[in-house]
A and B are shown apart, each in its own frame.
Chain A
Amino acid sequence: MYEAVVAQLKEIVGSKNVSVSKEQLINFGFDATLPQYRPEIVVFATTTEQVSKVMKVAQKHKVPVTPRGAATNLSGGSLPSSGGIALSLTKMNKILEIDTENLVCVVQPGVVNQDLQDALAGTGYFYPPDPASMKVCTIGGNIAECAGGPRCLKLGVTRDYILGLEVVWPDGRVSTLGGRFAGDRDLDLVRLMVGSEGMLGIVTKAWLRLKPVSEAKKTMLAVFHEVVDASRTVSDIIAKGIIPLTLELLDNLLINCAEDFAHIGLPRDAGAILIIEVDGYAPELDRQVETIQKMCEANNARDFQIARSAEEVDKLWTARRIVIGAVARKRPSYSLQDVTVPRSNFPVISEKIVEISKKYDLPIGILAHAGDGNLHPIALFDARDKDEVDRVHKAEEEICQIALDLGGTISGEHGIGLAKMDFLRWQLSPAAIDLIVGIKKTIDPNNILNPGKMVEVS
């Protein structure tokens, strides 16, 4: 059907970077969520010019294009659900410049987050957003989803670290928005692009803001019998005016998944653990740790430890970061929500989730960037069991509804994509949704760029 298109694409990116084989259509039809689709053409681009020309061809023939990085997406945003072209940017993976004088680095979209961190190691600077999948996810994907991560409690999300973007628009034109120096931007198009989930344009280059590494850091592990005690501790710590670098919660189910992989002696019988990290100038930290310990103890913590070595800290974080991947040890399929509530309501929603898990007879683990009130309830099941799938849907609807009732949102950091489209209507007023549709139509009138995601465009 697309023979002429395929021929033109091969001209642009070279024949080895275009494939229509069934093997590649299978391999570029999935991400880390359950549904699987098949694109009709798989294309790898290696330069901005190629991306631009690919978009011009796609525009001319009205072929849908779904941009794709490492495809670790947790909301289905990188799924080619309308067929067409799956456009992989993983080969555009060069770090173009590290400018520590101006606290800026310039990267291509396919750079893996961890590779950037490794390149910055030793310079005294780092790039704060640290999604759990940072060892594989790409900066382009991080920008499209406005990724968060444990450190974002104190340091902010991807949006706060993007100074400039080179963007290819759906018609193939290229713009540079912002750049090396942060300036006043009245109508901030950079911010519009961050979190636009690949619907508005394709990022081909990004100017990222760096931060100096703190002088000192302390990492703590607090162990609780009950989730609710851990979640009360979280609200108490924040209410005390301490903003830790990270404040992560894992419940019993996830403690066990993480321990199965990491073997670091996590307490398998605990109801919940908190991983708490504070950073800053060395003399300040001891008092903060002391206050945090008191808060934990006041909320019935059964154990409180401070990591003794960098190696211990690394192991603890590895355990935390892999945990979503580790749940297949229990059941083969999972579904993950991304609800966020005001911190004061964090204990309420965590109790409700425990109730919902019982009500639907489903294992639902709780993983949370607790300091932000951002929770990832993760339901475990087997997608081949239709009855179970039904219960997952009902349980998740209930969780989203509760989050909204508590004054929260359904997406903290994973995006809307395909998985949360139905829930977006509950959260945003019709006027706001109309506005999103309007922006999409203005920038992409033929609806070819990542169509069918976030909002329905008629």
Chain B
Amino acid sequence: MDILERVYEALYQCNKCGFCQATCPTYRNLWDEKYTARGRIRLILAVADGDLERTAEYEEAINTCLTCHQCAVTCPSGVKGDELVLAARQDLFEKKGFPFIKRIPLQRVLPSRSARNAAFGMFRVFKGLLPSSFKGIDIKGMPVAGRSFTDSTVEVHKPEGEPKAKVAYFVGCMTDHTLPGVAEAVVKVLTANGLEVIVPKAQNCCGLPMYTYGDLDTSLKLAKENMDVIEKFQVDAVITACGSCGGMLVKYGELFADKPEAERAKAFSEKTYDVAEYLIDKIELDTEKFGNLPIKVTYHDSCHLARGMNVVKQPRELMKKVPGVELIEMKDADQCCGAAGLFQGLYPEISTKITNNKIENAKNTGAEFVTVDCPACLHRIQGGINQNKTGQRVAHVVEVLAAAYDNRDKLDLVR
């Protein structure tokens, strides 16, 4: 059955009340029905009914969705606008394939460890020659690791004493290639809590970028690869410190629901946790080793973490447990930062508007650090801060914890 036929009743369920306008970041910046869930659903219905062709403007309406899940949470009738948009993208991919600008990153670079290493390596070498910013993306401020974290670390990290549990750390491409300091902090915080941490060296892209733009097959192939790699270690839990990867890993169960791997995938998703979620909900956090860290922080919710994994309170609770840390909430903390994967490059104008709201709200807290639990948000927000010269620094929540365990009295960030 055609994908749009499959979701037809869900499309038809939208009764056009318009409440999705309240939280949709694209609508709230552009004030045009085309950029809200209600409008996008109307257009998908028109295509499904054969009333509208898959035009360039239709593609723009569908592709400008950030898939931030806000509409799904806001809709009184439980219509999942983001998933309907994903269905429309799958339909577009099936009918038209990817244009060059998506084909190279989504089908050539990201799915392959060697191609990814080569691409980030080239970016590192030639970064100096590129303009300092490109389409609103802060090129100059974007760090790239000489070697990826997974290539430069050992696979097994033992804690002192008998391990309480054995966990696999799913690093994710962005952290792996650009934020080794964050990855090291994750390992440090987990081992400090008596956990044996496996960093599977053969782990691959989580599959989210392809899934987001409708290439389900590549996405499932990657998911299967990751399950194969990680299952071998027979771990008690899979830990992520990236909202995007985590949000994808917890979806594996659903994506394989009608496939032979259904049971494996379900089990895999069920034992996937965000690092903050695991530390707060699953174990007794060791707070005795915390030194004093007198800093003011605010916290930004990653879309996929807050609404994909329902992790909202845990990162905040973690930081509040560190002596000296003062958490000041920002306005609209759970609104998208504007990154949304490739979106920032494809629609820089919209993305920059959304990011600038975030930068303004973060600035108004007066905090020195904006904390996040997602590397994509980290780069986007730091880039926006650099371009707006508001002077704040963006840290991952685990970096705050690692500094406290190290008894440093300030937060130095390794970038």
A residues whose Cβ falls under 8 Å from a Cβ of B: 21-24, 26-28, 30-32, 44, 70-72, 88, 90-91, 93, 110, 112, 114, 133, 135-137, 257, 260-261, 322-329, 332-334
Would you call B166 an interface residue if the criterion is a C-beta within 8 Å of the partner chain's C-beta atoms?
A: no
Instruction: Tell me the bound Cα distance from A90 to B21 in angstroms.
Output: 11
Q: How many A-B residue pairs have CB under 8 A?
A: 98
Minimum C-beta distance from A384 to chain B (A): 8
Would you call B46 an interface residue if the criterion is a C-beta within 8 Å of the partner chain's C-beta atoms?
A: yes
Q: Are A323 and B34 in contact (CB under 8 A)?
A: no
CB neighbours (8 Å) of B34 from chain A are 23-24, 27
- Name B19's contact: one of A22, A90, A133, A260 (CB within 8 Å): A133
Within 8 A of A (CB), among B1-53: 9, 12-19, 21-22, 31-34, 39, 42-43, 46, 51-52
Q: Are B77 and A325 in contact (CB under 8 A)?
A: yes
Instruction: Tell me the bound Cα distance from A442 to B19 in angstroms.
Output: 37
Instruction: Tell me the bound Cα distance from A27 to B22 in angstroms.
Output: 17
Known contacts A23-B55, A327-B77, A328-B77; A71/B22 CB under 8 A? no
Minimum C-beta distance from A345 to chain B (A): 29
Q: Are A332 and B15 in contact (CB under 8 A)?
A: yes
Across the A-B interface, the 5 shortest Cβ-Cβ residue pairs: A325-B76, A328-B77, A325-B17, A326-B76, A322-B76
Known contacts A27-B43, A136-B19, A261-B78; A44/B14 CB under 8 A? no
Instruction: Tell me the bound Cα distance from A30 to B43 in angstroms.
Output: 12
Instruction: Tell me the bound Cα distance from A105 to B77 in angstroms.
Output: 34
Minimum C-beta distance from B219 to chain A (A): 28
Q: Are A27 and B39 in contact (CB under 8 A)?
A: yes
Instruction: Tell me the bound Cα distance from A158 to B329 in angstroms.
Output: 34
Instruction: Tell me the bound Cα distance from A328 to B18 in angstroms.
Output: 13
Considering the complex, give the chain B residue whose CB is closest to the CB of A28: B33
Q: Are B15 and A325 in contact (CB under 8 A)?
A: yes
Minimum C-beta distance from B20 to chain A (A): 8
CB neighbours (8 Å) of A325 from chain B are 15, 17, 19, 75-77
CB neighbours (8 Å) of A260 from chain B are 78
Q: Are B78 and A26 in contact (CB under 8 A)?
A: no
Q: Are A93 and B19 in contact (CB under 8 A)?
A: no
B residues whose Cβ falls under 8 Å from a Cβ of A: 9, 12-19, 21-22, 31-34, 39, 42-43, 46, 51-52, 55, 57-58, 61, 75-79
Q: Are B77 and A329 in contact (CB under 8 A)?
A: yes
CB neighbours (8 Å) of A133 from chain B are 17-19
For B16, B58, B76, which residue has the most chain A Cβ atoms within 10 angstroms? Answer: B76
Minimum C-beta distance from A363 to chain B (A): 14
Q: Are A71 and B77 in contact (CB under 8 A)?
A: no
- Name B16's contact: one of A21, A31, A322 (CB within 8 Å): A31
Considering the complex, give the chain B residue whose CB is closest to the CB of A24: B34
Considering the complex, give the chain B residue whose CB is closest to the CB of A86: B33
Instruction: Tell me the bound Cα distance from A332 to B41 in angstroms.
Output: 14
Q: Are A114 and B22 in contact (CB under 8 A)?
A: yes
Considering the complex, give the chain B residue whose CB is closest to the CB of A323: B76
Instruction: Tell me the bound Cα distance from A93 to B28 in angstroms.
Output: 11
Instruction: Tell me the bound Cα distance from A79 to B31 in angstroms.
Output: 18
Instruction: Tell me the bound Cα distance from A48 to B15 in angstroms.
Output: 32
Q: Are B15 and A135 in contact (CB under 8 A)?
A: no
Q: Are B52 and A22 in contact (CB under 8 A)?
A: yes
CB neighbours (8 Å) of A112 from chain B are 22
Q: Are B52 and A333 in contact (CB under 8 A)?
A: no
Q: Are B16 and A30 in contact (CB under 8 A)?
A: yes
Instruction: Tell me the bound Cα distance from A322 to B22 in angstroms.
Output: 12
CB neighbours (8 Å) of A27 from chain B are 33-34, 39, 42-43
CB neighbours (8 Å) of B51 from chain A are 26
- Name A23's contact: one of B9, B17, B18, B43 (CB within 8 Å): B43
Q: Are A26 and B43 in contact (CB under 8 A)?
A: yes
Q: Are A136 and B77 in contact (CB under 8 A)?
A: no
CB neighbours (8 Å) of B76 from chain A are 257, 261, 322-326, 328
Considering the complex, give the chain A residue whose CB is closest to the CB of B45: A26
Considering the complex, give the chain A residue whose CB is closest to the CB of B21: A136
- Name A328's contact: one of B58, B61, B79 (CB within 8 Å): B79
Considering the complex, give the chain A residue whose CB is closest to the CB of B19: A325
For B12, B18, B22, B51, which residue has the most chain A Cβ atoms within 10 angstroms? Answer: B18
Known contacts A24-B34, A44-B32, A136-B22; A327/B78 CB under 8 A? no
Q: Are A23 and B57 in contact (CB under 8 A)?
A: yes
Q: Are B31 and A328 in contact (CB under 8 A)?
A: no
Q: Are A26 and B15 in contact (CB under 8 A)?
A: no
